[in-house]
């Protein structure tokens, strides 16, 4: 983590929890960015966010390939034409590694023990 530029994306976390996480990351030598941009090395997020993103992609693909109604067809078309990518799409496009908070927690606890 030393010298890595990270962005923490944990929606629903309390401000106190986020401060603690950021403090622990900085203690391990990481630089924490307040803004998401393409120079970030790691996007740290929860397993729930990662799973929701996977489910969203499956549902979107299903709507685009096999719309069951006229409304679903229009929804699929509108979704496909949207230009504002989510944070996960941007991270993939920029080549940013997406890491679950659980994995980082294990790493942080091991580095504290050293």
∠14-41-92 over CA atoms, to 5°? 90
Residue range 2-12: mean pLDDT, rounded: 89
Select the more confidently predicted residue: 79 or 21. 21
Nearest to 3 by CA among 31, 26, 25: 31
Q: Where are the alpha helices (DSSP H) in the chain?
A: 15-27, 47-65, 70-81, 87-94, 101-113
Domains by residue range for the chain, with CATH = 5-113 (3.40.50.10190)
Predicted confidence band of residue 114 (pLDDT cuts 50, 70, 90): low
Residue with tokens 């622990």: 24
Is a pLDDT exceeding 90 seen at residue 6? Answer: yes
Is a pLDDT exceeding 70 seen at residue 85? Answer: no
pLDDT for the residue 41: 94
| Backbone torsions φ then ψ of 70, nearest 5 degrees | -65, -40
pLDDT for the residue 113: 64
Tell me if 6 sits within 8 A of 36, measured CB to CB. Answer: no
CA–CA distance from 90 to each of 4, 55, 64, 85 (Å)?
A: 18, 17, 21, 6
pLDDT tens by residue, 15-72: 888 898 899 899 889 999 999 999 999 999 887 777 777 666 655 555 555 656 666 6
């Amino acid at each position: 983590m030393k010298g890595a530029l990270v962005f923490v994306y944990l929606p629903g976390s309390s401000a106190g929890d986020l401060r603690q996480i950021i403090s622990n990351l900085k203690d391990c030598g990481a630089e924490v960015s307040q803004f998401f941009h393409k120079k970030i090395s790691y996007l740290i997020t929860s397993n729930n966010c990662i799973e929701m993103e996977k489910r969203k992609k499956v549902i979107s693909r299903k709507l685009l390939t096999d719309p069951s109604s006229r409304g679903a067809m229009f929804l699929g078309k509108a979704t496909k034409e949207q230009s504002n990518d989510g944070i996960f799409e941007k991270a993939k496009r920029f080549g940013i590694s997406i890491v679950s908070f659980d994995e980082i927690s294990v790493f942080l606890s091991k580095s504290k023990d050293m």
